Structure formats: structure tokens, C-alpha cells
Structure 1
Amino acid sequence: MPDSLAESPVSNAADWTVSELSGALKRTVEDSFGHVRVRGEISGYRGPHSSGHAYFSLKDQNARLDAVVWKGNFGRLKLRPEEGLEVVAIGRITTFPGKSSYQIVIEQLEFAGAGAIMAMLEERKRRLGAEGLFAPERKRRPPFLPRVIGVVTSPTGAVIRDILHRLNDRFPRHVLVWPVRVQGDTCGAEVSAAIRGFNALAPGGPIPRPDVLIVARGGGSLEDLLGFSEESVVRAAAESSIPLISAVGHETDVTLIDFAADLRAPTPTAAAEMAVPVRADLLAEVAGLHARLRACFARGSERRRTDLRALARLLPSADAVLAVPRQRLDLAGQRLPRALKANAGAHRLGLTRVEGRLTPQLLAVALARRRERAGDLAARLPRGLTANTARHRLRLTRDESRLRLIAQALRDRRERGRDRLDTLFTRLQRCRRQQAAERAGRLDAVAKLLTALSYKGVLARGYALVRDASGAPVHAAAGIGAGDALEIEFRDGRVAVTATGAGPEAPPSPARPGRKPAKTRPAPLPEPPRQPTLFDS
């Protein structure tokens, strides 16, 4: 260390440790602000951390504030953080010593007015629409007359009574009610669970599976209806295999489930009207169709009866139709006895002619010839079988010799391949050992060069490296001012110091009582032009 630094004056100010200073700043910030309400836009939110905590920032056009929501508070938030959402955060300001920064620990989140809610809904609608959840081709038409209707709503409100009353007026059906909260923090989770629960019912089970679903709620403010615009509710409605009718709010109220549902009703009462037809109208229409069917059948029968009578008048009488066939039958009956006699005589003459050629002697000669031919064939059969067997045996012998030659050739080829593989493996091992030796030599040379060029070797010879507060090396005393924080690196570690003088013109240290005055030193020689060193960054 230079002598000028060793003889610098000693300050009477107390020394702070980094932890003490950080703690004092933390207490000052927390005592000065306490609980605050901060309005800003959420930025950098990527969901809860693996630890359960959530980290993001609140920003406006000029500044940014780090924010954190601890795991215990995250589950109790009424409004979950979303990227780009403008909110009012309620919490306390504190510092984080690990980064020398301040942050807000959020305990509650609120929408920053209706404009923020609309912006959030528009962004969510755009994102879900890009996934195809609102596509028209996904929507299905509910059945004309469902057997079972599932209703997702509050069991204590006026909505379920209106729906049941309208269903009883129009067409009474079996209704299943899944009770949910239609407002509050758990509204979205309960509605999505109800939709998926109805879809999970097996057809033909103990609980009948609905043919159509109605998600209903009465009117309310924009904040009251937010539960039906949550992403989980929209996805459950889009994934529902049962046709779904959305009846949330009045006609002017719009929620995101309206876009994912198969049909949207302006009111819960209208949803009941869309689910079933009017029974009296159906009965009247069926009665009218039945009367038209009977009248049509009667008119058709009468018209065909009239046509049949007209056609019957055009047909000839039975005697006129059968006169010619009767005459032909009479003529044939007269000719039949003579024809039978003539036919019998012709057959008798033919048998008489054949009788002379069918004598026992002729039959015996023909039989002897057939027997002699059969004997010749029987005598030739053993010789043919022997010759055929010998011919096949000779062919099998030739095939066996060819197969042996082919097998020997394959064995020779396999031995040659094994020898070649052993040779290549030996060469590969030799190349690997040679390459490893070359790389080890190159690595050793590079390590020696790195050791020679490293500034650690210079420090080991007794020198020291001085850095300023930013960590940059200090090359001259002229750049050091009084009170500057410095760091000196020795061979075995680093030491933080504070400069008590300013450059080479710093006044001499005041003489302490009981000490001899320092000897005056000759003026230093002019410093030669500086050359680059190993410490230059």
C-alpha cells in the first residue's frame, strides 16, 4: 500500500456494516410509509413461483415498482394478477437487502375502475378467441324436447323459481339443479366444476344425464358478473359435450361465457323458453296434423276407388277373355289320345332296335377288355413310383450340395468380416490413445500459458490490486478523491478501505500526540509514460 494512504487522517464517523445499514434503511422505509395504495399496471407476471410466491412489477409511464405476493396471501386474493392488468395494490413498502432495492408486499388487489375491467375482459376475449373457443362451428343446437334439463345457478335466488315456473307453463320436464355461488371469489371455480360435473354423469346412470344445460344468473354490476368471465368457466363451457345455454344477467349484460355457449339467452326466463317448446302449441299442431292426415288418407282412398271403378269399366268380360283359351283347350283334348299312341309306338320301335345289340356276350367282351387294361396299369404303377422317387432323391442331393457350398461361403465371409473388425478396433484404440495424448499436451501448455499471464502470479510476488466502488482497476492516485470507497486485493484475499485524501496533493496527516513528525520525503520523480499492464480491463 502507498505511504500516502497509510498516513491519511482517521475519520471520527462510526463505521456501518452492510447489514446494519440495510436494516436501518428497512426500518426507515417501513416506518415512513406503512400501508399504501398503489395504482399501476402489472408487468412481468409469469404465474406463481415454484415456492408458491408471486413476483412481478407495477409500472406507469415514468416508473416501475417491484411487487411480491407471499404464498399465504396469494390464495386469498379476490383478484388474481394478470399481465397488463391495471390494478390498485394495497400493501406495505419494505426493502430487500439482498438486492439493495425496495418493493411492495401486496396484501389485496383491486381493479383500477371499470375501464381496467373492460380492458382485461377484451384482452381475455381476444386471447381465448384466438384459440378457437368462440368459433361458430363448435356450437351445437340443443335438442327440440330434452328429457332432462340441468341448471347451474343459486338455489335460493329468484332465477331458479323463474326458470321452473316458465318450464311448468310451457312443457314440464325433469330438472336437475347444481347449486353454486353466482357472485364472489369462488363463483368461477364452482360454475366450471358444475359444468364439468354434469358432463361427467354417465348416460343411464342412477342420476340422469341432462340433455341441455342452462347457466343462469340475474342482473348485476360489472364486478358482480366477473365470475362468469373467468378463463376456467369459458373453457368448461367450450369443452362441454352437452349443449349449453348462457343466461347471465339482463339483455345488456355481456360475459365471456356468452361467446363460448351454444346459445345465449337475454334473460333466465328466455333460456327456459329456448330449452323447451310450448306443450299446448305442440298438442294443437299434432291434432291439426292428425286431422290433415286423416282427411288426406280419406281423399286418397276415394280417388283410388273412383279410378278403380273407371278402369274396371274398361276391362273386357271374363267370357270374352277366356273364349280363345277354351277353344284351344278343346282342340288339344281331341288330339291328345292319338298323340299318346303315336309316341308309345315310336319308343317301342327304338327299344326293339337296341335290344339286338345288348347281348350278354358283348357285355362280357367289353368287361374283359376293361379288366385287362386295369391289370396293365397296376403292373406299371410300382415302376413309375420307383422312378419318380429316384428322380426326386437325385434332385434333393444336388440341392443339399449347393446349400453346403453356400453355407461354407457365408462362414468364410463372416470370418473375414470378424478379422477386419478386429483390425479396425485395434486401429481405433491406437488413434484414441494418440489423440488423448495430443490433447493432454495441448491442455497442459494452455494451462501453463494461463498461469503465466494471470495477474494472480503478480499478486503472489507481493503486489496488490486496487479497485474503485464499481470494481474497475485504479491506475493512478490522481483519480482518487477523499471518502471514495476502495477495494484492495492481495494474494490471499480482498480488503475494503476508504480514501482519506484526494490524489497526490492531499495535505499531510496531522501529527498525533506522542508521535514524531514524519520525515519529509523528496519530491517524486516525474512519472514515466504509463504502459499497459495485466490489470487493464
Structure 2
Amino acid sequence: MELFEDEPAGNNAHEYTVSEISGAVKRVLEGEFGRVRVRGEIGRVSRPGSGHLYFDLKDDRSVIAAVTWKGQAARLATRPEEGIEVIATGRLTTFPGQSKYQLIVDEIEPAGAGALMMMLEKRRKALAAEGLFDETRKRALPYLPRVIGVVTSPSGAVIRDILHRLRDRFPTRVVIWPVAVQGEACAPQVTAAIQGFNALDPAGVIPRPDLIIVARGGGSLEDLWGFNEESVVRAAAASRIPLISAVGHETDTTLIDFASDRRAPTPTAAAEIAVPVRAELAARLNESAARMIRASQSQHQRQRQRLTDLARALGRPQALTAPARQRFDLIGERLEPALRGFVRMRRERLNALPLSLSSLRGNMRNRRERLDEQSRRLPLVLVRDVARRRDRFEELGARLVRARTRMLADAARNTQRDRVAVAVLARRLDAARARILAPRRDLLERIDRLRQTLGYTETLRRGFAVVHASGGLVTTAQEAQQTPRFEIEFADGRIGARPEGPPSRSSTRKDSPSGGQKSLF
């Protein structure tokens, strides 16, 4: 008979809590893998209001949940977009609340150029669907911009090429906004530059450009990636100032090229598009002026010919006035008798009027009284007129003082502005003079050194001599033998000499330049 029942097998195993199991799994997973790099395709990207990023990394058989915390998400060089293949770097850990493991990602990079091109194409289609690349919203470039804003690096060859081309074609004012043209700082700085140029006051100290050029030299797709960022494209599309994109070489294409009003294959080509050639404009103006003069002369000649033709149809002026002159002679003969009759009739009427001395005196008395009354009123009228004119004069004087004050203030402002402009031009002139004179002085010194090097005086210092005669230089022994007297020039002076005896035969041999010649002294 059994006194105790057998205990079931396995009930002596250690009992774990859920938290203990979760912690053990977490420690094993993090200790085994630690920091890893995982390659996969991004799927199901979630951006909640907390600022964290949640997404999946998957391949054809498995899926790993990934998360990037808010502080690190703002510093990611590549934003996760669904459908692109990337390499994510981070820590592999567990999430006990849902009993799953996940990757805490702090770096994301595209998995090769193919992934970048896929991301670029996807972004291009999304922005094109918004209408940012439509041709209807692109603005025409100004024909002759007064101020050109250039967004580029101030230390590269790009800005020098642009300035050189502008100076050759049509010198104009250039305002440079220095930016980084690659790296993480490129996109925000280029965006801020485009928006900053548009925010400038046209009447401010820094003039608002009439045209913007965004330029960079060639490079790889990664180097030019800053000009594919959405913020740069939106800033270029929203720019109220016409914009030329000159990013990379002719074969390079970035998204800012689609949003800009004009794309240039190179930065130098952007400068050529921005301004016309001043010499061609001057030639066109001269040609137009010549055509206008020729047209004016031709029209004047046609009008003169037309007047001449009309004058032929008028006939002789004497023939036109002869009938009128004859009629005047006929009427003139009747004019004198008519005037005499008119005067006689008027005299008779005057004699018939009842005029008397008393009536004349009464008329004169009335006229005198009216004259006296007007004389009494005249001082009052004069006083009122003088007062009115004085008030008018004072008003005009006050207006004149105000106008003079305003004109003096405007003249002072214009003088100050012109003084500042003259000072700026003087500094630029001094800088240009120093910049131009320095290389020319160096060139002159090099030419002078070359002249001294190629001159025969340097050859004399190496031990050679020049033989002079009254007829010129003596170059052969035969000429020296036939010359009664000559001079030999050394590096430190000349001495006289004369030949002694015929030249030796060995001295004329080409293969023995120093053998056997007799002394000349």
C-alpha cells in the first residue's frame, strides 16, 4: 500500500516571471548582436505627432520593425521613404510590451546609386504631380538685369567663371550669397539663400536681384544630392524672382533644374544666358540709328518731291493774283468819292444835333463827379489789393521756404549717397589698379631679365669677345687680316688691336676651333 502519491515529473523546474524572461531575452539579443548594419527595403513608414519615426525593413522573406527617436530623426541624412532600399545602422533590442524585437536606427544611407535613383524618381513624380514643374508657371528672364544674385560657394572656381563671363559680356552688379554646395548643410543653406533674396527690400541697402543663379560644379550623384532635396525644389518653385539653375555639368540633372525658370548646362552658360553681349547691343543700336537716319532722309526726300510735284500743278502766282489786282484797281477809283460823301453826310448830321454850352458843361460836371467818386474809392481798393497781394506773397514765401528746405535735404541726401558711391568706386579703382599693375610689373621684370639674358653682354661675361671695325663687326680671321686696325670688346671694356701675319691654316678648321692661330697683338 502506497502511503504517498508520486509527484508529477518536472515540477522541480525553476519558475520565471514574464519580466525575467523578457529581460533575459533582451540581454541575450543585445549581447549577441549589439550594433548592426541591416540592408533591406523600407515599408510602412509612420510619422506620429510625437516626432518619432516607425518603419519596417524587409526583404523577400522577413520583416524587422525599426524605430528612430525624435532627436535622431531630425539629424538623418536620408529620410526614410517607402519602397527604397537602404542600409540602416543601429542597435538590435526587444520591446517587452509587445513581445517583439526591433532595430533602433540612428543612421540611414541608400544602398547604392540604384536606390538613390529610385528615391530621386519617386520624389520627382510626387513634386511633378503638385504642379511644381509645369511650364506654365515658369517666368521669362529679364533681358538686361541690373542686379544678379548668385547662390554658390564663394571659394570655388564656379563664382570666378561666372564673374569673368559677366565681365566679358555685359558688366553688371552681382550679389553673392555664400552657401555650402554639398553635404548636410547644402539644402538648408540654399533654401535660405533663395528665400532671403526674395525677402530683400527693393529700396534697401542691399538691392533685390532681378535674377537669381544657383550654381555648382560637377560631381557625383551624392555630391549633388543637396539640390534634390524637397525644400530646395519648393523654394525655387516659390521664388518670385526668375531663377536659373546651373548645377553640375551638362549631363547632370537635379530636381532644381525642373523647378527653375531656366536650366543652364554649366555655370558659365548661366552667365551667358543671364546677360546679352554689350558689343552686339551697341552694334544693333548703331545699325538701328543708321536705319532711322536713312528712313528719315528718304521720307524727307519723298515729301520734297511731292511738294515739287504739287507746285507744278498750282501754276504761276502772278496769274492767280492778276484778276484780284484788277478788281482792286476798279474799286479804288470809286473809293474816294464814296469817302467824301460819307464825311459830308456825317457833318450834316452833327450840325443837326441840339448841342449847347450848358449841356456840355452839365455833361462835364457829371463826369467830374463820377471821377471824384472813383478817386475816393481808389485808396480803399488799393489797400485791399495790397493786403491781398501781401497775403499771397507771404503764402508763396512760406511755400518757397518749405520747398527750399526740402530741396536742400534732398540735395544733402543725394550728396551723401554720391559721396558713398564715389568712395566705393575709389576703393574699387585702387584695388583694380593694384590688381592690374602687379602682374604687368612682374611681366615687365621678366621681360627685362630675358633681355639681359639674351643680350650679348652676358655672353661677354662668360669669356667671349666682340671684334669691332670701322665698317661694323669682324666675324672671320680673313676680315681681321684685311682690317688695318680694330677694337676688341670684353666684358669690362675695349682695347685696340691690329693683325700680325696671315691667319694660320689650322685656325680655319671647323674641328679645331682653338688650335694654332697666331697672336693678333
TM-score, structure 2 as length reference: 0.61
Aligned to 1:44, the other structure's residue is in SS state strand
Aligned-pair distance for 1:306?
2.4
Partner of 2:21: 21
Aligned-pair distance for 1:156?
0.7
| Residue 41 of structure 1 pairs with residue 41 of structure 2 | yes
Partner of 2:12: 12
Aligned-pair distance for 1:89?
0.2
Aligned-pair distance for 1:204?
1.7
In structure 2, distance between residues paired with 1:325 and 1:233: 90
| Residue 275 of structure 1 pairs with residue 274 of structure 2 | yes
Partner of 2:174: 175
Aligned-pair distance for 1:68?
0.6
Partner of 1:97: 96
Aligned to 2:276, the other structure's residue is in SS state coil
| Residue 108 of structure 1 pairs with residue 107 of structure 2 | yes
In structure 1, distance between residues paired with 2:142 and 2:283: 20
Aligned-pair distance for 1:8?
6.3
With 300-309 and 172-181 compared, the bigger mean Cα shift is at 300-309
Letter in 1 for 2:172: R
- Report Cα offsets for 1:303-349 as digits up to 9, x if no partner: 322222222122123333344555667788869969x99xx9xxxxx
In structure 2, distance between residues paired with 1:160 and 1:170: 15
In structure 2, distance between residues paired with 1:118 and 1:188: 18
Letter in 1 for 2:71: G
Partner of 2:235: 236
Partner of 1:65: 64
Aligned to 2:235, the other structure's residue is in SS state helix
Partner of 2:146: 147
| Residue 259 of structure 1 pairs with residue 258 of structure 2 | yes
Quick one: structure 1 residues 328 and 104, their matched pair in 2 at CA, closer, same or farther if it must change by over 3 Å? farther
Matches within 5 A, 1:256-405: 256-324=255-323
In structure 1, distance between residues paired with 2:159 and 2:72: 35
Letter in 2 for 1:37: R
In structure 2, distance between residues paired with 1:188 and 1:86: 22
Aligned-pair distance for 1:298?
2.0
Quick one: structure 1 residues 312 and 126, their matched pair in 2 at CA, closer, same or farther if it must change by over 3 Å? same
Aligned residue pairs, count: 336
Consecutive unaligned residues of structure 2, counting only runs of 5 or more, are 1-6, 346-521
- Report Cα offsets for 1:2-26 as digits up to 9, x if no partner: xxxxx96771111111111100000
Partner of 2:162: 163
In structure 2, distance between residues paired with 1:301 and 1:239: 54
Partner of 1:84: 83
In structure 2, distance between residues paired with 1:68 and 1:203: 48
- Report Cα offsets for 1:53-80 as digits up to 9, x if no partner: 2111112222211101112222222112
Aligned-pair distance for 1:152?
0.4
Letter in 1 for 2:64: L
Letter in 2 for 1:152: V
In structure 2, distance between residues paired with 1:332 and 1:227: 104
In structure 1, distance between residues paired with 2:53 and 2:167: 51
Letter in 2 for 1:196: Q
In structure 2, distance between residues paired with 1:70 and 1:41: 20
- Report Cα offsets for 1:412-439 as digits up to 9, x if no partner: xxxxxxxxxxxxxxxxxxxxxxxxxxxx
Aligned-pair distance for 1:121?
0.8
What is the aligned-residue identity percentage? 61
In structure 2, distance between residues paired with 1:99 and 1:321: 122
In structure 2, distance between residues paired with 1:174 and 1:231: 30
Letter in 1 for 2:62: A
In structure 1, distance between residues paired with 2:118 and 2:331: 106
Indicate the structure whose relative CO is greater, using CA pairs within 8 Å and at least 6 residues apart: 1
Partner of 1:221: 220
Partner of 1:439: none
In structure 2, distance between residues paired with 1:9 and 1:88: 50
Aligned to 1:208, the other structure's residue is in SS state coil
Letter in 2 for 1:227: G
Aligned-pair distance for 1:90?
0.7
Letter in 2 for 1:163: I
Letter in 1 for 2:87: V
Aligned-pair distance for 1:50?
2.6
TM-score, structure 1 as length reference: 0.59
Letter in 1 for 2:201: A
With 190-199 and 286-295 compared, the bigger mean Cα shift is at 286-295
Matches within 5 A, 1:427-506: none
Aligned to 1:45, the other structure's residue is in SS state strand
Partner of 2:202: 203
Letter in 1 for 2:15: D
Aligned-pair distance for 1:275?
0.2
Partner of 2:51: 52
- Report Cα offsets for 1:391-429 as digits up to 9, x if no partner: xxxxxxxxxxxxxxxxxxxxxxxxxxxxxxxxxxxxxxx
In structure 1, distance between residues paired with 2:14 and 2:194: 68
- Report Cα offsets for 1:343-400 as digits up to 9, x if no partner: x9xxxxxxxxxxxxxxxxxxxxxxxxxxxxxxxxxxxxxxxxxxxxxxxxxxxxxxxx
Aligned to 1:56, the other structure's residue is in SS state strand
- Report Cα offsets for 1:214-254 as digits up to 9, x if no partner: 00000000011111011111111111111100100000000
Letter in 2 for 1:133: L
Aligned to 2:298, the other structure's residue is in SS state helix
Aligned to 1:309, the other structure's residue is in SS state helix
In structure 1, distance between residues paired with 2:266 and 2:297: 47
Quick one: structure 1 residues 111 and 322, their matched pair in 2 at CA, closer, same or farther if it must change by over 3 Å? same
Partner of 1:194: 193
Aligned to 1:26, the other structure's residue is in SS state helix
- Report Cα offsets for 1:123-156 as digits up to 9, x if no partner: 1111111111111111112111100000000111
Letter in 2 for 1:217: R
Quick one: structure 1 residues 144 and 72, their matched pair in 2 at CA, closer, same or farther if it must change by over 3 Å? same
In structure 1, distance between residues paired with 2:213 and 2:254: 15
In structure 2, distance between residues paired with 1:131 and 1:325: 88
Letter in 1 for 2:93: T
Quick one: structure 1 residues 87 and 332, their matched pair in 2 at CA, closer, same or farther if it must change by over 3 Å? farther
| Residue 137 of structure 1 pairs with residue 116 of structure 2 | no
Partner of 2:438: none
In structure 2, distance between residues paired with 1:119 and 1:161: 35
| Residue 31 of structure 1 pairs with residue 31 of structure 2 | yes
Letter in 1 for 2:183: G
In structure 1, distance between residues paired with 2:41 and 2:128: 23
